[in-house]
């Protein structure tokens, strides 16, 4: 029976139960919890709907199952054809499988993995699987998967991926650490992070990912939590949509840090480092510098510090800064078509505070509108070394102060303190004070500084 049909059956059954009266409702809510105690080479069970064959443990029906103890070479499998959710309560469980996956779901309506309070749990898979096809990850689910609870889960994925759902994957809470050969955490249809502390490391793949290309799928959403990633490829990727509205994200190593066809940042505290583009919106199949009609990056809130080896922000389509605070750093060795802020389509500053610094600050192929929020993009007569303080000054008033972290030739500033059409002086040296966001300081002084550019017109850049 397909999941949709099972859900229909569940709803019909629940309606009948509600009509039968409160005693029936209480009976549904009070379903017993089975206990599975792992003992090294096998398991003992208190409760029903669990079969044990040597080191193979199979759960065959919806309900709650508490798993504790150690299984040195075996697996726990969920194979439930009936409608209803299977809850796996990991309460100090350590499962290792030397031939395949230690914990996997072949069939279920939906599965919740609850990390019991105060417990640490570990899943370790084989480097080489003897089975073909699925399962193909340390924690694998063919059904919708939710991870919750306040305990800890460590996943060591020696074969490929760490945690995978072929449908929707939701992380509500818990302390989750994944070390993977390929992707660390992947929800094929969607991946949603609503909380928890997540640390992912990948030696050859992505960090957090939703990879379905079908319309309405391939969506990665982050609303809360702490996420730390060090990966070989993309750190946080939604194949179609990447939406970040909260939480704390720290990407210390990646090829591209944040990527989606449509990338929207409306909140959160984000610091990302990439060897290529730090924040990226890309449409597959387009040629170099060919504008996309559907790709975009939009920042409406939050704090983003993005350091890219190529571009800080790079959109195949449009790029809009409408709120929040953004500090972007691009290449310190390549200019021209690479920069702190790079867009093949239109770019707009309509709100927030933005600083971009690189050899090229704005690698754009269309004129940047000068009829919205003000921006100024000075180009210096020579490269500025790392740790050089740059001030944008109106008369004697310092409007913005930024300290470089690498070699730059251009800097772009945008905020509600800058007015397009007006002229500003640019100083180097002096001092900075107050809060620091990626080198952007809340205060600065030009005492002892040198005026290096006079009368730079806001809203004007390069050949435009």
pLDDT tens for each residue of 225-246: 989 999 999 999 999 999 999 9
* Residues 187-201, mean pLDDT to the nearest whole number: 98
Please state, in angstroms and rounded to a whole number, the distance separating the CA atoms of residues 237 and 243. Answer: 10
pLDDT, the chain, mean: 92
DSSP state letter for 337: T
Give the confidence band of 273 by pLDDT, cuts at 50, 70, 90: very high
Which range among 117-121, 150-154, 338-342 shows the weakest confidence by mean pLDDT?
338-342
Which band of pLDDT confidence, cut at 50, 70 and 90, is reported for residue 110?
very high
Q: Does position 464 have pLDDT exceeding 60, yes or no?
A: no
Question: Among the listed ranges 63-72, 176-185, 212-221, 329-338, which one has the minimum average pLDDT value?
Answer: 329-338
Indicate the pTM of the whole model. 0.91
Q: Is the pLDDT of residue 170 over 90?
A: yes
Mean pLDDT, residues 106-128 taken together: 98
Cα 340 from Cα 356, distance rounded (Å): 5
Min mean pLDDT across 19-23, 353-357, 451-455 is at 19-23
Length of the chain: 464
Residue 181 confidence (pLDDT)? 98
β-bridge partners, 217: none
**Rounded CA separation 19/196 (Å):** 38
pLDDT at 3: 40
**Mean pLDDT throughout 80-100?**
97
pLDDT over 70 at 35, yes or no: yes
**What pLDDT is stored for residue 462 in this prediction?**
64
User: Could you give the CA distance from residue 154 to residue 95 in angstroms, rounded to a whole number?
Assistant: 11
Q: Sign of dihedral through CA atoms 357, 359, 365, 368?
A: positive
pLDDT score at 29: 32
What was the pLDDT predicted at 461? 85
More confident residue, 27 or 284: 284
Residues 139, 162 contacting (CB under 8 angstroms) = yes
Confidence of residue 28 (pLDDT cuts 50, 70, 90): very low
13 pLDDT more than 50: no
Q: How far apart are CA 351 and CA 363, in angstroms?
A: 20
- Structure-block tokens of residue 11: 């709803």
What is the per-residue pLDDT for 289?
73
Question: What is the spatial distance between Cα 170 and Cα 78, in angstroms, rounded to a whole number?
Answer: 18
CA 42 to chain centre: 38
DSSP 155-191: EEESSSEEEEESSEEEE-SSEEEEEESS-SEEESSEE
User: In the chain, what percentage of residues exceed pLDDT 90?
Assistant: 86
373: left (phi > 0), else alpha (psi -120 to 50), else beta?
beta
Rounded mean pLDDT of 327-337? Answer: 85
Phi, psi of 246 (to 5 degrees): -175, -175
At residue 333, the pLDDT reads 86
| pLDDT for 11 | 31
Average pLDDT in the 313-326 region? Answer: 97
Q: What pLDDT does residue 207 have? A: 98
Please answer whether residues 98 and 128 qualify as being in contact, where contact means their C-beta atoms are separated by less than 8 angstroms: no
In this prediction, residue 334 carries a pLDDT of 76
Residue boundaries of the structural domains of the chain: 34-383, 385-458
Report the relative pairing of strands 33-40 and 63-71 from DSSP bridges.
Answer: parallel
Distances (CA, A) of 458 to 409, 412, 462: 17, 10, 12
> Percentage of the chain surpassing pLDDT 70?
92
Please give the C-alpha separations between residue 62 and each of 49, 58, 110, 446, in angstroms, as whole numbers. 9, 12, 9, 68
Q: Which helix (H) or strand (E) holds 253?
A: strand 248-253
DSSP string, 25-86: HHHHHTPPEEEEEEEES-EEEESSSEEEETTEEEE-SSEEEEEEEEESS-EEEEE--SSSEE
- Residues 102-111, mean pLDDT to the nearest whole number: 98
């Amino acid at each position: 029976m397909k999941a949709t049909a099972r859900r229909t059956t569940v709803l019909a059954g629940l309606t009948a139960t509600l009509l039968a009266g409160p005693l029936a409702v209480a009976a549904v809510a009070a379903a017993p919890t089975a206990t599975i105690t792992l003992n090294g080479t096998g398991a003992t069970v208190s409760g029903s709907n669990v079969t044990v064959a040597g080191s193979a443990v199979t759960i065959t029906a919806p309900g709650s199952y508490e798993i504790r103890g150690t299984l040195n070479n075996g697996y726990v499998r969920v194979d439930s054809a009936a409608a209803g959710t299977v809850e796996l309560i990991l309460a100090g469980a350590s499962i290792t499988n030397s031939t395949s996956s230690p914990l996997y779901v072949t069939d279920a309506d939906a599965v919740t993995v609850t990390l019991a309070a105060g417990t640490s749990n570990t899943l370790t898979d084989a480097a080489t699987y003897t089975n073909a096809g699925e399962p193909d990850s340390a924690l694998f689910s063919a059904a919708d998967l939710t991870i919750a609870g306040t305990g800890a889960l460590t996943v060591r994925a020696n074969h490929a991926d760490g945690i995978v759902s072929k449908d929707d994957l939701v992380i509500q809470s818990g302390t989750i650490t994944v070390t993977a050969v390929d992707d660390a955490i992947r929800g094929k249809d969607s991946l949603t992070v609503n909380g928890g502390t997540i640390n992912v490391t990948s030696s050859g793949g992505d960090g957090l990912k939703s990879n379905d290309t079908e319309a309405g799928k391939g969506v990665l959403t982050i609303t809360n939590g702490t996420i730390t990633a060090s990966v070989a490829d993309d750190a946080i990727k939604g194949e179609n949509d990447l939406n970040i509205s909260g939480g704390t994200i720290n990407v210390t190593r990646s090829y591209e840090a944040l990527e989606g066809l449509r990338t929207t940042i409306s909140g959160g505290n984000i610091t990302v480092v990439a060897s290529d583009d730090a924040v990226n919106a890309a449409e597959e199949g387009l040629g170099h510098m060919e504008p996309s009609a559907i790709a975009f990056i939009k920042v409406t809130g939050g704090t983003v510090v993005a350091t890219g080896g190529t571009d800080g922000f790079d959109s195949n389509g449009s790029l809009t800064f409408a709120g929040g605070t953004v500090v972007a750093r691009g290449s310190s060795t390549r200019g021209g078509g690479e920069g702190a802020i790079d867009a093949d389509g239109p770019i707009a500053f309509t709100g927030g505070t933005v600083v971009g610094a690189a050899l090229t600050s704005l690698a754009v192929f269309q004129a940047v509108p000068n009829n919205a929020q003000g921006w100024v993009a000075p180009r210096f007569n020579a490269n500025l070394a790392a740790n050089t303080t740059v001030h944008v000054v109106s008369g004697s008033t310092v409007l913005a102060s930024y300290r470089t972290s690498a070699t730059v030739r251009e800097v772009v500033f945008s905020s509600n303190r800058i007015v397009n059409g007006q002229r500003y002086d640019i100083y180097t040296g002096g001092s900075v004070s107050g809060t620091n966001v990626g080198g952007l300081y809340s205060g600065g002084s030009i005492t002892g500084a040198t005026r290096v550019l006079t009368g730079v017109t806001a809203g004007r850049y390069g050949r435009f």
